[in-house]
Each structure stands twice: as C-alpha cells, then as structure tokens.
Amino acid sequence: MTKYEYISEVEKNLGGIPYIEKVKMLDFYREMIEDKIESGMSEEEVIAELGDPVLLAARLRDEYRMNNPEQSASPPPNQMPQKRSSGWKALLVIALIIGSPLILAVIVAVASILFGIAIAIIAVGITFVIGAAGVGITGIVLFLTSFLALSGGFYTFLVQLGLSFLLIALCLLLVGVGVGAIQLLMLLIRAVSNAISARKRKAV
C-alpha cells in the first residue's frame, strides 16, 4: 500500500467528523509520513509503523468525540438516504391507502371505456360482415339471373351484369372493413397486454 492509498483509506473511514477537522487530521498524517520518509525510513516501514488505516481512523474518531462531547457524530452517509427512502415509502403507502377509492374508481372507469370501445369495434365488424353477406348474395343472384335477362334485350343484360359486379365488389369491400375492424381490436388487446406485461417486469 502506498502513502496515497493509506491516506485515502483513512479518509474513507472518518465518517461523522466535520470536513475541516478531517482535513487537519489527514494533513497531519500526510506530513508525518513525508517527514519520516525524508529522515530515511521507507514508505512501507512508515505505513507499517502507523498500522491499519481503519483502526487509525477509528482512533481518530474516538479522540474527536472525546474532545468534542457537545457535537454528536452525524450518522454515516450511507444510512441517511435509507431513512429518507423509508420516510418516502411510508408516505407513499399512506397516500395509496387514502386514495385507494379514487384510484379504484379511475381503474374501473378506464376498464369500462376500453370494454365499450371493444364492444363497439366488434359490433361494427359484425355489422359490416352481415351487410357484406346480404350484398354479396344479392350480387350473385343478379349475376346468375343476368343471363336470363338476355331475352329482354342485350342492354338489360349488361345493366344487370354490371350491377351484380358492383354489388359483389361492395361485398368484398364490406368484408375487408369488417375484418379490419376485428384486426384493429386484436391489435389493441395485444398492445394493452404487452404494456401490462412490461409494467409487471419493471415492478419485479
């Protein structure tokens, strides 16, 4: 261990001592090490003579408390955030308990809205499919009977045949809209499910 590492280790273990006092202590031992090295001792010998840096820091803390009994040492820094965190957690729990009826009402309202949207999309899809079936059947019937209309004239045949094609095309369009509405519902359900799963993974 070098002298810099030794002083750094002592500094890490001087929690609870004011900054100015800590600087004075570290400067004192830094100068002491330098003086001993200049007097002929090696860096390793000086560090061995001073002993374990953790024990030295503990002794310095004890001496500071004995010389300054009116100043109680502050808690170690790594404990302070835990206390604040515990306080925030307690406040959060209390807020959840107090606001639980409102939160439940909001959840129910959102679920009702989503359920209503799903029902509306399903109804639209079914309506378009049923309408497409009726239009398609009518178009097929017109197509089949258009050949019988030849006896009434070629013009009548063309009009009825064109109308049958138009109805069949409209049938396909309605089927596409109905299927698209149902697919949109499935995408919405999948998106909501993925969002819920992602939130659960984050919570874990």
Convert the pLDDT of each residue in 10-48 to its tens digit: 888 888 888 888 899 899 988 988 998 899 988 889 888
The pLDDT of residue 68 = 80
Closest CA to 141 of 119, 115, 167: 167
Average the pLDDT over 46-64 and give the result: 89
CA distances from 189 to 9, 20, 22, 117, 186 (A): 57, 62, 61, 11, 5
Paired tokens of 1: 């261990």
Paired tokens of 34: 């330098």
Going 66 to 72 to 77 to 78, the CA torsion angle's sign is positive
Convert the pLDDT of each residue in 62-121 to its tens digit: 888 888 876 644 444 444 444 455 567 777 777 777 766 777 777 777 778 877 887 877
pTM here? 0.35
Give one DSSP letter per residue of 54-67, joined into a string.
HHHHHHHHHHHHHH
The pLDDT of residue 149 = 66
Which residues are CB-neighbours of 59 under 8 A, at least 6 positions away?
none
Residue burial 30-57, b: 16+ Cβ < 10 Å; e: rest: eeebeebeeeeeeeeebbeebeebeebb
Cα 93 to Cα 96: distance, rounded to the nearest angstrom: 5
CB atoms under 10 Å from CB of 14, counted, come to 20
Closest CA to 157 of 147, 144, 169, 167: 147
Give the count of alpha carbons within 13 A of 96, CB side only.
6
Answer with the residue of higher pLDDT: 180 or 80.
180
Residue type at position 29: Y
Convert the pLDDT of each residue in 114-173 to its tens digit: 778 878 777 777 887 787 788 878 878 877 777 776 666 777 777 877 888 888 888 888
Give one DSSP letter per residue of 90-143, joined into a string.
HHHHHHHHHHHHHHHHHHHHHHHHHHHHHHHHHHHHHHHHHHHHHHHHHHHHHH
